Structure 1
């Protein structure tokens, strides 16, 4: 029994499974995709076949009518219609072949060679823009046309009125019956013309006055046009601007991220500068391309045409200024005539070039507000040079005492890239443009200076002129000058014989002083002369005077 179960059980289970499967109704499998696609193609071909049969029948009918026609005008009309039907029939046959063979039939179709006409292409580009302007000025143009028509009708009305009056004058004079009859006929004709033109003038005038009364003000028209513009194109414009901003700032953020990834100091390298320049260029170009794609997808040829015309204008202007643009790019890459870290004179004032990029940073640490940030193209055509060792970018600083070429001495109150303010010895303030101030060759007294003076004695002291006199003069100055200037500020005193002039023996006096004595610089020459006069009085030296000799003729 167990053996029977062991051998029959598998077969029973298999039989039950088979019965459960084969006892169900068979499932309907869906047709393959290629069969469904083929059925759709056949349905399309059936429809095209019916259209072809109808079109061929129409062509045959027209051919029969053409053969039976006897009138030339009728034959010409039938021939034109037959040509149109044959053209449509050819298109339908080509469409039938395209559906049937499912390949590109372009290479088998004769290609018409058309010459490129740039004026035609520009006209197509400008057409939507001109249409928009035409729509915006439609009411004004209608009013202008009405006024032109009104002027023409008024002129014809006045001429007709004058003609009627002239004929009335002629009819009042004696004339033959035949002439009078003809004149009366012409008068009736001109009177009819006068009435017609008067009626036409009245109608046009009423129409013009009605349009003028209903016409909105310029502000209302502008507001209405703006509202209509933003209703119809506002969304497209907004999407275009958003696309531009997304791409623009996307590139800018990308450039910022790349800059962060660079190692410190690498931003000065040529590759880093080139990368930054390309990011900036593509941020603008990419934004414009994104905007144009949005306008193209929206089918807004007006806004797309505006952008294209703008790009054409920018391109044309860039061609005109191409050499300057190339120099600007070279400056941005730090390979031009102006280099970072070098010395440059800009607007008459010296600066150090701290950085070059889209903007140039110039700096003069000795000037108040001495940092200037300006577009890099301002430096096109200029040259820089390396800064010399220990070279100062400005001859003085705030608080220094300076002597100018014109003899003016004063203290620097302020110095900026625009002007230098000087406080003179008397307290008055003098303002010089910075470039003009540098043109006066300022001498900085605060770092130390020398006062030079000339003094002369009479020729009668010639025997001691080179020995005793200069020694006693120097001793007198050393003893008395500290009363005018603190002794600590006097570095050295030199007195030596310089020359024998026509009336005196002259001595040069040099007094070297520290910068602290600069406020007294205007008074020191007078103090030196006073001390030397006292020395002459003490030693009995005669001070000569200029002699004038008069010769009698």
Structure 2
């Protein structure tokens, strides 16, 4: 635009110079003198500015000349082989093209009285994100500024008060010094100068004192409330309740109501979808419920924002917007994790409902796979746990095997731990297992209890093996005679015991020929109902075997050592 008007002004000046610089035509000798009136008119015409038509003609001529020059430059650029020269010509052509465009616009503006067709084109406003953020948070800062105005005014006046006190002290010190110096001065000129300086310092002192008095009154009026705290609290509360408080209450109510309606709608959809649905379709129902919850949050935020916008509370709207942005920014890294959770809920992950999973070293059954999944071990008391799905998506589950136990024991079962620790299970939870051992209660951590390899006597029954040895003197009769006799005798003895009804079988057979004895193997099998008599059964079998030896005269060997002595020479 400056170039266009500069071109127009330059053209006007050149035209004016051409008119005034025309040479005077020589007057013929025989020509009559022109009358003064005619000479005056001619001079007025020479001083007149060029017409609008002449200006437009001049611009057209300049545009035509520049276009001719542009065509010449383009021809030279096409014909030259020097890259640098060609680049220079192309740059000059671009500059000349811009000048031609400026002159074309100037021609149009001159013809239309300053109007330009180029100004009719739509201008795209460039987005400035800094200005956008400033416009967004300005209401928040303005409100905070109003809320802290009183404290900031007090702080400002206190700082000014300290400054004027320092000025007053400086003026007082200067006046004191001048008061001592004036009596000592003898020269009138110096004394007059010092007197004027003293007057200036006195004015500064008075000005500082006046400012201190003013600030003192203002501080008293600002710092000391004119009304009681109770009345001020009531007025502040009324102002808040009729302003931001009312808006906040309405926006919060809209948020809660919308969220409740969507949540209720999701529950109705889930119930209607689950009716008649198979178990394999449950993941789809869960995903629908999750999407409805997300939609409920988004719709609730939109309703709250619409209420704030309709009531014109830009402060709370800005706060809501910033909170939403912060939450979205905080969740940006969680999006891949959420997608993985949705895949898992759809049954496309590594864990599935109804399968077996190891959690904290214990087997659990996945009852429900949801945002908060439900795990349960049916044999542990209080084992139902609610676990966030995010804790489980990296684990693996598998279908349980047929008759696979969820725990090696149940409450009131009798077990034997490593080290022949025999006891009755009283309680078992995911944290501890309590047992009654030798009349006392002993508690193990559940993982430690499993590490001791418990043998359950109560579930599938048990067998008690006993190895009993006889002397080698019975070698000829031990298989054919002693084994049947011992079996019969043990059966008679066991029939007299209270646990005999729970015995399933009794086996007596030859086991091995040991170094010092011929060993028999006695195995008595019982159901789990006899588990409490485990040690009594062992003692009964040992006692009955010894009684049989006493009755039938069987010798019980002991460890022997045979020493061969070489004969001595006579």
Same fold per superposition (TM over 0.5): yes
Q: CA deviation at 1:509?
A: 5.2
**Partner in structure 2 of residue 423 of structure 1:** 436
**Partner in structure 2 of residue 328 of structure 1:** 341
**Partner in structure 2 of residue 281 of structure 1:** 294
1:345-360 equivalent positions in 2, closer than 5 A: 345-360=358-373
Structure number with greater Rg is: 2
**Partner in structure 2 of residue 543 of structure 1:** 558
Q: CA deviation at 1:335?
A: 2.7
Distance 2:280 2:193 in 1: 102
Q: CA deviation at 1:333?
A: 2.7
Segments of 5+ residues of structure 2 without an aligned counterpart are 1-117, 563-570
Distance 2:537 2:272 in 1: 64
SS where residue 365 of structure 2 aligns? strand
Provide TM-score, normalisation by structure 2.
0.62
1:447 aligns with 2:462: no
The alignment covers a number of residue pairs equal to: 439
Structure 1's 543 and 225: CA in aligned 2 closer, same or farther, altered over 3 A? Answer: farther
Structure 1's 202 and 459: CA in aligned 2 closer, same or farther, altered over 3 A? Answer: farther
Distance 1:204 1:318 in 2: 52
1:264 aligns with 2:276: yes
Q: CA deviation at 1:524?
A: 4.2
Q: CA deviation at 1:513?
A: 2.2
Distance 1:409 1:424 in 2: 6
**Partner in structure 1 of residue 241 of structure 2:** 230
Q: Is the 8 A contact 1:485 1:517 kept in 2?
A: no
**Partner in structure 2 of residue 119 of structure 1:** 130
Distance 2:228 2:420 in 1: 69
1:301-320 equivalent positions in 2, closer than 5 A: 301-320=314-333
Structure 1's 266 and 503: CA in aligned 2 closer, same or farther, altered over 3 A? Answer: closer
SS where residue 399 of structure 1 aligns? coil
1:116-265 equivalent positions in 2, closer than 5 A: 116-154=127-165, 167=177, 171=181, 193=204, 196-197=207-208, 200-201=211-212, 203-205=214-216, 207-208=218-219, 210-214=221-225, 227-259=238-270, 261-262=272-273, 263-265=275-277
Distance 1:152 1:507 in 2: 113
Structure 1's 266 and 509: CA in aligned 2 closer, same or farther, altered over 3 A? Answer: closer
SS where residue 492 of structure 1 aligns? strand
1:514 aligns with 2:524: no
Q: CA deviation at 1:389?
A: 1.6
**Partner in structure 2 of residue 298 of structure 1:** 311
Distance 2:152 2:241 in 1: 23
Structure 1's 370 and 112: CA in aligned 2 closer, same or farther, altered over 3 A? Answer: same
1:323-402 equivalent positions in 2, closer than 5 A: 323-402=336-415
Q: CA deviation at 1:515?
A: 1.0
1:87-98 equivalent positions in 2, closer than 5 A: none
Structure 1's 347 and 200: CA in aligned 2 closer, same or farther, altered over 3 A? Answer: farther
Distance 2:160 2:547 in 1: 108
SS where residue 421 of structure 1 aligns? strand
Q: CA deviation at 1:365?
A: 3.2
Distance 2:523 2:530 in 1: 15
Q: CA deviation at 1:243?
A: 3.3
For the aligned residue pairs, the C-alpha RMSD in angstroms reads: 4.5
SS where residue 287 of structure 1 aligns? helix
Structure 1's 183 and 282: CA in aligned 2 closer, same or farther, altered over 3 A? Answer: same
Structure 1's 113 and 469: CA in aligned 2 closer, same or farther, altered over 3 A? Answer: farther
Structure 1's 197 and 430: CA in aligned 2 closer, same or farther, altered over 3 A? Answer: farther
Distance 2:258 2:360 in 1: 38
Structure 1's 174 and 239: CA in aligned 2 closer, same or farther, altered over 3 A? Answer: closer
